[in-house]
């Protein structure tokens, strides 16, 4: 069955439009409470990022859950991976995060974690959707859920983050700039690195409800680049609004994206004998990552775009390292979900253990030139059924041979067809993507976005 409300990462929308009203979120809380309460007795944790609408939706969720007879524990502003961790360690029946991740403040979202700290299955999400469409009925007053606030949540999570690197690790002598995106990590990420001994310069750590992800964080890396150079820091860490993504910057100002972070972590695990199985990326992962891993003797597998699919493959094969170019990194030997702080710590630990710089570590992987052109279309189409387009793709692949690859996919969130080519020859990449994009544009009667 197709879902009506849930997407690949919970439910997301613009505040006040369509789904994202207090009325809908209260009904969602009630529906989730009805489903989750059948799976065992326990509380539901609620965390949120720093956007102003989080207060409104926190109250709405609390009301809905209480009306279903479920107890609630409120965490306040807390990174998404922290909610996943606390859900498991506090024996909650589920965790809820109110966040739209890297989106602007006027968007918001709701995502759920199971009692094991993993994302809910499709089956449970469908059960919640079925309840949403029913008439809301409040339990008797003596059965209403109670709410309380957890006051030591941030301290618990800080200790988890520090526990993911060796206890002997000391960052004394390192100057690190931490960009918190004015989001949920503002009171946590700087303290994690500071407590490990680093000299920390914190930026975008003063949220006001409206400035989350605004010109800062992992989607606006130029803010961190400037700060690293200005403070003559050893490296920089940029998180997104809910703390599940990370992009880094070395002392020269060069950006280290998710693919390079995955490479550094995988190489580190291999060096210390902790890596079993393959590394998982997506169709968007740079060809350079695949080549570099193969040079280490490591297998690499691609899945569809989305951390949900990376997680699925890792769990199916009992592997531990994977992620996306955007900086959503999974280290399942350390935590149950993507965690920006934990991923950054693994990289910093490798800098210290190898007594080298982040610049040197990332230089061991050579990224291949990559170019994408988006074609805006009026309605969704099956591009695999268009013989002209498929013939053009085949021709491009033949010309690229083993030195490059072609990716043609329809966006899951926008009316776009993405045409991407990467390879080892920059001029060829640009030439081939222009040729293919023109054919796609003509065949689909679209226009270059």
The pLDDT > 70 percentage for the chain reads 99
Per-residue pLDDT at 281 exceeds 90: yes
The CB density around residue 438, as the number of other CB atoms within 10 Å, is: 15
Which of residues 288 and 412 earns the better pLDDT score?
Answer: 288
Q: Has 431 been annotated as catalytic?
A: no
Per-residue pLDDT at 40 exceeds 80: no
pLDDT band for 166, please (50, 70, 90 cuts): very high
CA-based torsion, 130, 132, 135, 136: positive or negative: positive
Per-residue pLDDT at 41 exceeds 80: no
Q: Of 53, 66, 99, 101, which one is the catalytic site residue?
A: 101
The pLDDT assigned to 294 comes to 95
Using CA atoms, how far residue 408 sits from 101, 177, 383, 405, in Å, is 26, 37, 8, 10
Read off the pLDDT of residues 402-428 as tens digits, 9 standing for 90 and up: 889 999 988 866 788 999 999 989 999
Give me the sheet containing 147-149, strands edge to edge. 11-14, 107-114, 94-98, 44-48, 72-77, 147-149
Radius of gyration of the chain (CA): 22
Read off the pLDDT of residues 103-157 as tens digits, 9 standing for 90 and up: 999 999 999 999 999 988 889 999 999 999 999 999 999 999 999 999 999 999 9
Cα–Cα dist 114/198, whole Å: 34
Read off the pLDDT of residues 365-384 as tens digits, 9 standing for 90 and up: 999 999 999 999 988 788 98
The pLDDT > 90 percentage for the chain reads 87
Cα–Cα dist 361/276, whole Å: 21
Per-residue pLDDT at 21 exceeds 90: yes
Mean pLDDT (the chain) is 94
State the average pLDDT over residues 334-342: 96
The pLDDT assigned to 449 comes to 82
State the average pLDDT over residues 422-446: 93
The pLDDT assigned to 412 comes to 67
CA-based torsion, 91, 92, 98, 100: positive or negative: positive
3-state SS of the chain is CCCCCCECCEEEEECCCCCCCHHHHHHHHHHHHHHHHCCCCCCEEEEECCCCHHHHHHHHHHHHHHHCCCCEEEEEECCHHHHHHHHHHCCCCEEEEECCCCCCCCEEEEEEEECCCCECCHHHHHHHHHHHCCCCCCCCHHHCCCEEECCCHHHHHHHHHHHCCCCCCCCCCCEEEEECCCCCCCCCHHHHHHHCCCEEEEECCCCCCCCCCCCCCCCCCHHHHHHHHHCCCCEEEEECCCCCCEEEEECCCCEECHHHHHHHHHHHHHHCCCCCCCEEEECCCCHHHHHHHHHCCCCEEEECCCHHHHHHHHHHHCCCEEECCCCCEEECCCCCCCCHHHHHHHHHHHHHHHCCCHHHHHHCCCCCCEEEEEEECCCCCCHHHCHHHHHHHHHHHHHHHHHEEEEEEECCCCCEEEEEEEECCHHHHHHHHHHHHHHHHHHCCCEEC
The pLDDT assigned to 414 comes to 73
Residue labelled with tokens 């503002």: 186
Q: Show the domains of the chain with their CATH numbers.
A: 11-153 (3.40.120.10), 161-363 (3.40.120.10), 370-448 (3.30.310.50)
The pLDDT assigned to 379 comes to 82
Tokens at residue 66, please? 């209480």
Per-residue pLDDT at 335 exceeds 80: yes
The pLDDT assigned to 1 comes to 64
The pLDDT assigned to 413 comes to 64
Read off the pLDDT of residues 289-333 as tens digits, 9 standing for 90 and up: 999 999 999 999 999 988 889 999 999 999 999 999 999 999 999
């Amino acid at each position: 069955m197709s879902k009506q409300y849930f997407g690949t990462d919970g439910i997301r929308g613009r505040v006040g439009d369509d789904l994202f009203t207090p009325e809908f979120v209260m009904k969602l809380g009630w529906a989730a409470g009805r489903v989750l309460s059948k799976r065992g007795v326990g509380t539901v944790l609620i965390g949120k990022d720093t956007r102003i609408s989080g207060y409104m939706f926190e109250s709405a969720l609390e009301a809905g859950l209480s009306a279903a007879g479920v107890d609630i524990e409120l965490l306040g502003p807390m990174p998404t991976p922290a909610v996943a961790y606390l859900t498991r360690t506090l024996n909650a029946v589920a965790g809820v995060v109110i966040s739209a991740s890297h989106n602007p403040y006027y968007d918001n979202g709701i995502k759920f974690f199971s009692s094991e700290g993993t994302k809910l299955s499709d089956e449970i999400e469908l059960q919640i959707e079925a309840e949403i469409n029913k008439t809301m009925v409040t339990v008797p007053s003596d059965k209403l859920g109670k709410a309380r606030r957890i006051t030591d949540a941030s301290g618990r999570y800080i200790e988890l983050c520090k526990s993911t690197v060796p206890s002997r690790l000391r960052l004394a002598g390192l100057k690190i700039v931490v960009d918190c995106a004015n989001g949920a990590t503002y009171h946590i990420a700087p303290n994690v690195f500071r407590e490990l001994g680093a000299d920390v310069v914190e930026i975008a750590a003063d949220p006001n409800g409206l400035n989350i992800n605004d010109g800062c964080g992992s989607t606006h890396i130029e803010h961190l680049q400037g700060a690293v150079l200005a403070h003559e820091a050893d490296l920089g860490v940029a998180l997104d609004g809910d703390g599940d993504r990370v992009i880094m910057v070395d002392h020269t100002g060069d950006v280290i994206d998710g693919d390079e972070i995955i490479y550094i972590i995988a190489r580190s695990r291999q060096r210390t004998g902790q890596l079993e199985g393959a590394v998982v990326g997506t169709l968007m992962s740079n060809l350079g990552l695949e080549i570099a891993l193969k040079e280490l003797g490591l297998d690499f597998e691609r899945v569809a775009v989305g951390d949900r699919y990376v997680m699925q493959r890792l769990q199916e094969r009992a592997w531990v390292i994977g992620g996306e170019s955007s900086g959503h990194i999974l280290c399942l030997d350390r935590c149950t979900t993507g965690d920006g702080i934990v991923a950054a710590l693994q990289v910093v630990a490798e800098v210290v253990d190898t007594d080298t710089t982040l610049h040197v570590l990332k230089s061991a992987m050579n990224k291949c030139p990559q170019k994408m052109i988006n074609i805006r279309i009026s309605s969704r189409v099956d591009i695999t059924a268009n013989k002209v387009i498929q013939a053009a793709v085949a021709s491009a692949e033949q010309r690229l041979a083993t030195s490059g690859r072609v990716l043609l996919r329809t966006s899951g969130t926008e009316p776009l067809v993405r045409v991407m080519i990467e390879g080892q020859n920059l001029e060829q990449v640009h030439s081939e993507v222009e040729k293919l994009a023109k054919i796609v544009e003509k065949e689909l009667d679209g226009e270059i976005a």
